[in-house]
Structure 1
Amino acid sequence: MRFLSTRERDGGVIGMTSSLDRWLVGRSARVRATPADRALKALSTAADKSRLWMALGAVLFVAGDRSARRGAVRGLLALSIASGVANGVAKPLFPRRRPPDESVPFVRRLVAPPVSSSFPSGHAASAAAFVTGLALESPAAAVAVAPVAAAVGYSRVHIGVHWPSDVVAGALFGSAVALVTRRWWAVRDDEPAALGPVEHIDPLPKGAGLLLIGNPHAGSGDGDDALADLRERLPAAEVLELGGDDFEERVDELMRRDDLRALGVVGGDGTVSAVAEYAVRHRLPLAVFAGGTLNHFARDAGVERTDVTVAGLEAGEAVRVDVAGVCLDGAEQRTFVNTASLGGYPDFVRVRERWERRIGKWPAAGIAMVRVLFRAQPLHVTVDGAHTALWMLFVGNGTYHPADQIPMSRPELRGGTLDVRYLRADVPFSRLRLVFATFTGTLEYSPTYRHRRVSRVDVRVAEEAVSLATDGEVDHRGKDFRFTSGPSALMLIKRGRAGNSQRNT
């Protein structure tokens, strides 16, 4: 079988196809006809213009779990980069003839074969980018999709439009692009944060001695369902719904009861933060039941599942975790369990959370960053006595990861650490430099970004009072803010497991 003439073998940047390529194509051509020929041709056609991967991504996004949805977004993002570079840059730079028509049987050939350079395979690059991006977030979903990606790669050889080395090169390139996305979009660690030591408390069977405070409006209006479920599971608990002008009076009255041994809360982060303040003040254990939209604290503390907290109540087990506090203008004290922020950060959080459940935290954060930066006004402050102007200030309870990118996870909720980050506005072209650094993974080298891990930080606003956001709630204003860590200040009811409480030790 003749493949290329001598002139053809010497032409092009890539040059002559290797003898191994020719041998492999020849072996493939000698495989007898089967129904798989039609299936491989159809599969290869379905992957044109990445239609197959966009459809799979949509299915995973709609029907998959949280990690599968993140994987679908990362895979499609990696695919778009890999496909664009492979087809728009690499093919013109590395011209290579495709296998001749007669290299495969007629039944396998496409009616209108592609005429662009054979090297590299854009189909293989797209397939590998998608499945590798998916694997970074959801290995289980990637295992199911990987055979399809491999079949797409082989189909390009089977129907005679690529040499095997084109497919291998495309697949390696696509995988490399997906892996590089970790540099500016960190892979989220879904493992619970490292917590403090396990402690024993009096068991609270069926909720006896528990005051359960619930937010009926949490979780997009699903709070009533969560409360109803907990009333059945904890029939001995006293239930109090959040809200009403006399809510604080009712809580204070219940706090004086002699049989009260623990507090419980069902709701989102804002509700958890409010009830945690009572628990810390009265030195009572806190049972957290996730009932909000995102439930960052419950997820990080490993109590997102109701069974974990109920088991802790029954067994009488709890763990110590850090909380943080902020003193406003030397008077009002506010507790927070996740983050506090000034400047454009409250708006950043609102935009990010609007998109986070749909496209994942990092893409949502990227959209929010761009929108807020180009609308925000500089905030002139002193941070621990140093004068600066900033776009936004982030103060996290505990250690957030990664340190040099948009925070994605919290590996520790112990140790008395505040994670302080702010974006400077007093650097030339700071907006553009921040956007560039965020999307290229170079934030740690940018003069516009500052990151510290401390136990206390003082911030004074030079102008009029500004809004403070704590755990998503923006309902306080001030000029002087003192943020402090409360090491092991909260006793969280949870069935203790060494894997959670001793992580990273």
Structure 2
Amino acid sequence: MDLLPEGRRRHGIQRITQGLGALDREIFEAIAESPTPLLDSMMPPLTRAADHSKLWLAIAAGLAATGKSSARRSAARGVITLGATSLFTNQGAKRIRQRPRPTFDSVPLRRRTRHRPTSNSLPSGHSASAAAFAVGVGLESPALGLPLALLAGLVGLSRVATGAHYPGDVLAGFGIGATIAVLGSRLVPPVVRTKIPAADPLRVDTPPRPDGEGVVLVINPASGRGTGARVIEDVRQALPKSEIVELGDQDDVKEAIRSAAARAEVLAVGGGDGTVSCAAEVAVDAGVPLAVFPTGTFNHFAKDIGCDTVAKTVEAIRTGSVACVDLVCLNEDQIVINTASIGAYPNFVRTRERLERRIGKPLAGVYAMLHTLWGDEPVRITYDNKTLQTSLFFLGNSTYLPSGFAPSIRTRMDDGLIDVRILDTGRPFSKIRILTALVFGRLERSPLYHELRVPEFAFTAVDGPTVLARDGEVGSEYDEAKFTVRYRALPVFRPLPK
């Protein structure tokens, strides 16, 4: 069959567009003219609450205030997605096609907005922000996403009922917000908790210590910009019979921890992950359980065992709640509690964390990757009978989530596995290929990305010794490094399900 002439095709598209526009106006008039007291009472306050995204920011603040890591991640993703969507909608989408706002004539007086908007009607910015926040939160927490999606739908309805937009404007806004949220999830995948069956925690019978008897806490009062001093006061009040060893800047931390462990029934430590790593090694050698108080900058280990506050650690000590976690042994004589890395991975993390609060984690991750790939010297390593060049090498104690090159959390720390992630930067156009895969959310499928979960891992530095960082601290240089899991080797005080 012959194709239609250009003129007839254009005429047909115009007729379809006109027909959709007429339908859009008819639906608007049907909603606007509906004499429904419920619409009159609910829609104006709802649309005002959504002005300048006040409704969504208030919900995000409430989620963050719960203190739950999943709620905080949901709030952060929702707000970042909302911000990106608002920028795109107001500075880009609204300028593509001019469409005047509906007239107020058919809208009941009590239902009209107080201030008639003057910007372009297509698309609805309120609806775009509502969809962006609801979908962004829902990607991290589907249980929260459903009620927020219903609320977003009501906000969209309020824009029609109050005469601010046509239904088509609302649908276009929903589409924009949802699309940006999904694209954001490709850049930084949401954390999806593993559903693989796992063994129950290995609990250790430990007597309750309601007043802290037998606990020796080693802590620097100046750690965490003064957090250490506050922790000391809290522990003295909550565990009055505990012994507290206050460190000075000139003290040998490892020697002080060894001395404390020799007389302790419970070794407690306050400090960053480097200090906790040292204490973990001493605790295993001394055969005593470890209690961790979060006084460092990031406190990754404390957070992952559930002791992200002083109160949680105190409660675990009082009730005798102890379970064993894995450690990773490096060359049989050093301990890794969180991560180890070679190449520029520490610089990548520092750059991303420095920027993510200002520009959001997705953009910060892309910038940090770009900065790292072009600004740092790669390292050639051999492992599993193959040689590759890498600028980014990550190794974690137990499985980290999500998959890809943005590992964030561990849901378990006793799975007997080492999590290894490597980017191969030695192939033709590898840097461009890595960045392209990252932007389009396909890094995990790239042949330049390697992800292993194994009980042991070893590599050899081809061109001579390379610096290996452990638990946030820059360590020694190694020609060869062998990592082996010490399965459930360290008993720690932590909250446990009853």
State the TM-score, normalized to the length of structure 2: 0.80
CA 1:62–1:233: 2 relative to 1, 3 Å: same
Q: Which moved more, 1:437-446 or 1:483-492?
A: 437-446
Match status 1:213 vs 2:218: yes
Match status 1:127 vs 2:140: no
Aligned residue for 1:406, secondary structure, equals coil
Letter of the aligned partner of 2:234 in structure 1? D
Match status 1:231 vs 2:233: no
CA 1:360–1:33: 2 relative to 1, 3 Å: same
Q: Which residue of 1 aligns with 2:320?
A: 316
Aligned residue for 1:487, secondary structure, equals strand
Alignment partner for residue 279 of structure 1, among 270, 279, 283? Answer: 283
Match status 1:244 vs 2:247: no
Letter of the aligned partner of 2:243 in structure 1? E
Q: Which moved more, 1:7-16 or 1:406-415?
A: 7-16
Give, in whole Å, the separation in 1 of the partners of 2:262 and 2:38.
80
Give, in whole Å, the separation in 1 of the partners of 2:203 and 2:117.
67
Aligned residue for 2:211, secondary structure, equals helix
Aligned 1:109-258 pairs, distance under 5 A: 113-114=118-119, 118=122, 120-137=123-140, 149=152, 152-188=155-191, 196-242=201-247, 244-257=250-263
Match status 1:497 vs 2:497: yes
Indicate conservation of the 8 Å contact 1:196/1:488, yes or no. Answer: no
Indicate conservation of the 8 Å contact 2:24/2:166, yes or no. Answer: no
CA 1:204–1:36: 2 relative to 1, 3 Å: same
| Offset, 1:323 | 1.1
CA 1:160–1:466: 2 relative to 1, 3 Å: same
Indicate conservation of the 8 Å contact 2:272/2:296, yes or no. Answer: yes
Indicate conservation of the 8 Å contact 1:184/1:441, yes or no. Answer: yes
Aligned 1:337-376 pairs, distance under 5 A: 337-355=337-355, 364-376=364-376
Give, in whole Å, the separation in 2 of the partners of 1:190 and 1:153.
32
Aligned 1:54-93 pairs, distance under 5 A: 57=57, 60=60, 64-65=64-65, 70-79=73-82, 82=85
Q: Which moved more, 1:421-430 or 1:289-298?
A: 289-298
Ranked by relative contact order (alpha carbons within 8 Å, sequence separation 6 or more), the top structure is 1
Indicate conservation of the 8 Å contact 1:78/1:177, yes or no. Answer: yes
Q: Which moved more, 1:277-286 or 1:216-225?
A: 216-225
Aligned residue for 1:492, secondary structure, equals strand
Please give the per-residue CA displacement for 1:386-414, whole angstroms capped at 9, x wherever unaligned. Answer: 21110121000001122235212212211
Q: Which runs of 5+ in 1 are unaligned?
A: 1-6, 499-505
Indicate conservation of the 8 Å contact 2:219/2:228, yes or no. Answer: yes
Give, in whole Å, the separation in 2 of the partners of 1:205 and 1:194.
29
Q: Which residue of 1 aligns with 2:461?
A: 461
Q: Which runs of 5+ in 2 are unaligned?
A: 1-10
Letter of the aligned partner of 1:414 in structure 2? D
Give, in whole Å, the separation in 2 of the partners of 1:359 and 1:218.
28
Give, in whole Å, the separation in 2 of the partners of 1:213 and 1:190.
34
Give, in whole Å, the separation in 1 of the partners of 2:266 and 2:46.
62
Please give the per-residue CA displacement for 1:421-456, whole angstroms capped at 9, x wherever unaligned. Answer: 011111222222222222321011112211111111
CA 1:189–1:301: 2 relative to 1, 3 Å: farther
| Offset, 1:14 | 6.5
Give, in whole Å, the separation in 2 of the partners of 1:77 and 1:194.
36
CA 1:256–1:75: 2 relative to 1, 3 Å: closer
| Offset, 1:300 | 1.4
Letter of the aligned partner of 1:226 in structure 2? V
Q: Which residue of 1 aligns with 2:408?
A: 408
Identical amino acids, percent of aligned pairs: 36
CA 1:22–1:303: 2 relative to 1, 3 Å: same
CA 1:365–1:196: 2 relative to 1, 3 Å: farther
Give, in whole Å, the separation in 1 of the partners of 2:496 and 2:351.
36
Letter of the aligned partner of 1:208 in structure 2? E
CA 1:233–1:139: 2 relative to 1, 3 Å: farther
Q: Which residue of 1 aligns with 2:437?
A: 437
Q: Which residue of 2 aligns with 1:261?
A: 265
| Offset, 1:377 | 1.3
Indicate conservation of the 8 Å contact 2:218/2:257, yes or no. Answer: no
Indicate conservation of the 8 Å contact 1:300/1:410, yes or no. Answer: yes
Give, in whole Å, the separation in 1 of the partners of 2:120 and 2:357.
41
| Offset, 1:174 | 2.3
Aligned 1:380-391 pairs, distance under 5 A: 380-391=380-391
Indicate conservation of the 8 Å contact 2:468/2:475, yes or no. Answer: yes
Indicate conservation of the 8 Å contact 1:9/1:16, yes or no. Answer: no
Q: Which residue of 1 aligns with 2:474?
A: 474
Letter of the aligned partner of 1:465 in structure 2? P
Indicate conservation of the 8 Å contact 1:325/1:336, yes or no. Answer: yes
Give, in whole Å, the separation in 1 of the partners of 2:58 and 2:368.
23
Alignment partner for residue 303 of structure 1, among 303, 307, 313? Answer: 307
Give, in whole Å, the separation in 2 of the partners of 1:207 and 1:136.
42
Give, in whole Å, the separation in 2 of the partners of 1:476 and 1:58.
47
Give, in whole Å, the separation in 1 of the partners of 2:54 and 2:351.
25
Please give the per-residue CA displacement for 1:246-296, whole angstroms capped at 9, x wherever unaligned. Answer: 444444444444xx3221112232221111111122222111222223222
CA 1:229–1:347: 2 relative to 1, 3 Å: same
User: What is the root-mean-square deviation in Å for CA atoms of aligned residues?
Assistant: 4.2
Letter of the aligned partner of 1:266 in structure 2? G
Give, in whole Å, the separation in 1 of the partners of 2:117 and 2:163.
12
